[in-house]
Structure 1
């Protein structure tokens, strides 16, 4: 007889979170004079709607490996939706005497309390796992390659994840057998099995799936990333036929596209009105005094759907015929004195906010390359074209992660594309804000490759 896993770890956490959150949203009502005619229908309304919104928003799908940014995104989305349905109560139940101001104060208070509670529990669990060694999950890894080694190293470094690797089986070993793995899982109370898809045959994978299903163990696939950088598969049904799409792109959703465009227009307009309006005349005079030529530099680049557009910058070089072919390098004698400063601080990129306003670019996105470079990398770098599924940006995740400026080695462009693909597949407004803040901080302290 198989020794079945007894229940799931931390099964009490989600119900407890529901109860605490419901207690918060219901008790906070009495902190403000909302002028409710009858309190009971209101409590039923917000309780039922909270459950519905939580299910729709996957508000409680927070795992030990969930990133802080994802938690913040869930909180913001949940409270915005909750505020919308809350104000809908006024019209739906004909409550004209309800205080809209106090209702707003109630929403902000609920948001603050929920944020505190969610992060308090999140922090406590991380500390419980990392410092006390509690709430652990025993795992094994089948397969020995770069990806499995990286995963095991991650588990060793990130103690807050709470995974303990009990064994790493080498499929290429002559003595390897799946039955030995199965026996080890049963004898050592293993909760999760990770395996490299590339190293097992279809028959072995099916045996592994059958064993995991019959013994209530979680089975997780480690994809072969030699051919692709990312597989964020989207599972859909065409009638009754399951179909997998290679990747899901958030910015293809109309709501997300509208939100990003609205953010771009507001942000770009603010920069143009409050910064470029007075900075441009000053820089124009300085640029003209140092060297002859135009104040602005225009260069054709590839953007959304590989379409070409004119990208604008403050001119930082002496006029030259090779500007459209050769990227600036360290010690480049084409760069002027004022050009060196504005490049170091990224001020030369500010005119691109006009590109954002025109709709050719976004504030955040994969950086657009010169047409000659795009054609070159499209042929030599796998998945390079994926970055053109979204609008290019003035700044991007790759740039704030250390991959900006001159491409010195093949590794630079490969890593840049990895970060760009991650951005394309995991976009959110909060990720954009994080990149913008990091860009600002980098501009203040200066960057090694900003030349």
Structure 2
């Protein structure tokens, strides 16, 4: 039986040993990665600074015909500390940035834009903006952005070689609980290695500790009666320990709370605060309102064609589930004959449905019939104000765009 294995992305076993060989395992299972991660962060910082300097000097050379630090040094010298501060805040130097090139590139560019904005703000209030060339500054920031993107792409292979695909050492103890496979993790069968979570036996406490050495994250899958023992072992091991529970996935648990003598699993949260709701509503109005203004000529033409075809109503309304699970009336351009409208949705539309009008066939094929749902977005019928949704300004904007996207993908009436 294979007792020790390390999973790849596809779950393939890349290392396995028999029971007899496993008892002679060389522990710890993996080298510590904390120092290696720190080395990667420092290397990225140095390369980012070099990218800043090289980018601005390159722009100076191409624009002015000379490489002179005096031309733009005030700009990049002022921006670099701001960039590093923003990069740390935006987690440009973090485990996700080491494991995902896209995440690293997004964080680096976002930090650059934040630093550039703060630099302009400071230059404006110190009345020093006249000292900088607008073209050189804009071009320097643009070239710096490209260099940051290139750096993150170029070093991804070296980072993966240095700290592995996850930049973490993960260990999973299989103690007879729910089967769990974690990619790129060490999986240990506790029965084969005689790992018993006995808190009264110092030797039995020491044995799991040898396996957990240099691990960044340890999970255990065990029956409910042994969860307390494993929990106490994790608490005394100064390690990130987790107990696998199938109910967490089934219930969609968001977190846990303790208080008043009991614990609770958080499966839903209340609405956003006043500021979050205001920001979300502003984004709804801005996006949907702008779309309506931009599409007004098209909407007018479609409404006129529908009216001219059979003199019936322009809009079709149907009840849907909305915010707080309440029903609301959704708006669509009418695509079916008035006498054959199906407001209850008891019959789905088919490709050659005889109920569909000539203009209706076109607007359904092009999804133009869904555009009046922008009115529902403006009214707030389709809004998501839960705290499990947007938190930051970027996430709020993303949720507003998702509302718009959802309104254009509504099912057939």
- Would you say same fold, with TM above 0.5? yes
Matches within 5 A, 1:426-437: 428=395
Per-residue deviation, 1:189: 5.9
CA RMSD in angstroms, aligned pairs only: 5.1
Which consecutive residues of structure 2, in runs of 5 or more, have no partner in the other structure?
Answer: 1-26, 199-203, 259-263
Q: Cα gap change, 1:323/1:168 in structure 2, threshold over 3 Å: closer, same or farther? A: farther
* In the alignment, structure 1 residue 178 sits paired with structure 2 residue 218: no
Aligned: 1:206 with 2:225: no
| Aligned-partner Cα distance in 1 for 2:175–2:70 | 64
Q: 2:53: which partner in 1?
A: 26
Distance 1:277 1:231, change over 3 A: same
Q: Distance in 2 between matches of 1:353 and 1:294?
A: 18
TM-score (norm. length: structure 1): 0.60
Structure 2 CA distance for aligned equivalents of residues 64 and 105 of structure 1: 26
Question: Residues 168, 204 of structure 1: CA spacing in aligned structure 2 closer, same or farther, 3 A cutoff?
Answer: same
Q: 1:31 to 1:64 in 2, by over 3 A?
A: closer
SS in 2 for 1:428: helix
SS in 2 for 1:178: coil
Distance 2:106 2:172 in 1: 32
| Aligned positions of 1:313-392 closer than 5 A | 313-319=332-338, 323-326=342-345, 329=348, 331=350, 335-336=355-356, 338=358, 339=360, 342-361=363-382, 389=386
Partner of 2:12: none
- Whole-Å separation in 2 of the counterparts to 1:107 and 1:253: 36
Q: 2:155 aligns with which of 114, 121, 141?
A: 121
2:171 to 96, 115, 139: 139
| 1:26-425 mapped onto 2 (5 Å cutoff) | 26-32=53-59, 42=75, 44-63=77-96, 70-71=103-104, 73-97=106-130, 98-122=132-156, 125=159, 137=169, 139-142=171-174, 148-149=179-180, 151-152=181-182, 155=183, 163-169=184-190, 177-178=196-197, 183=207, 186=210, 191=215, 192-196=217-221, 199=224, 201=226, 203-213=228-238, 217-223=239-245, 224-225=247-248, 228-231=251-254, 254=275, 258=279, 264-282=284-302, 284-286=304-306, 289=309, 293-305=312-324, 309-319=328-338, 323-326=342-345, 329=348, 331=350, 335-336=355-356, 338=358, 339=360, 342-361=363-382, 389=386
For 1:30 and 1:234, the matched residues in 2 are separated by: 54
Distance in 2, Cα, partners of 1:315 & 1:330: 13
Question: Match for 2:40 among 3, 10, 13?
Answer: 13
Change beyond 3 A, Cα 1:346–1:251: farther
Q: What SS does structure 1 have at the residue aligned with 2:318?
A: strand
Work out the CA distance in 1 between the residues paired with 2:274 and 2:139.
31
Return closer, same or farther for 1:183/1:14 CA change in 2, 3 Å cut-off.
Answer: same
CA deviations over 1:100-149 (Å, ceiling 9, x no partner): 3432222222222212222333465458888xx89783522445666x53
Task: Indicate how the Cα distance of structure 1 residues 23 and 194 shifts in structure 2: closer, same or farther if over 3 A, else same.
Answer: same
Q: Structure 1 residues 330, 42: CA separation in 2 closer, same or farther (over 3 Å shift)?
A: closer
Shift of 1:17: 1.0
Point out the structure with max Rg over C-alpha.
Answer: 2
Show structure 1 runs of 5+ residues with no match: 156-162, 236-242, 363-386, 391-420
Tell me, in whole angstroms, the C-alpha distance in 1 between the residues paired with 2:167 and 2:88: 25
| C-alpha distance in 1 between matches for 2:112 and 2:255 | 27
Label 1:188 to 1:91 Cα distance change in 2 as closer, same or farther (>3 A). Answer: closer
> TM-score, normalized by length of structure 2?
0.65
How many residue pairs were aligned? Answer: 362
Conserved? CA contact 2:254–2:266, under 8 Å: no
Whole-angstrom CA distance in 2 between matches of 1:388 and 1:96: 41
1:293-327 deviations in Å (ceiling 9; x for gaps): 31212334454455665421112344479845446
Distance 1:231 1:56, change over 3 A: same
DSSP-derived class of the 1:25 partner? helix
Q: Aligned partners of 1:166 and 1:247: how far apart in 2?
A: 32
Do 1:250 and 1:424's aligned partners in 2 also have CA atoms closer than 8 Å?
Answer: no
Give me the whole-angstrom Cα distance separating, in 1, the residues matched to 2:185 and 2:369. Answer: 49
Task: Give me the whole-angstrom Cα distance separating, in 2, the residues matched to 1:80 and 1:249.
Answer: 33
Q: More deviation in 53-62 or 304-313?
A: 304-313
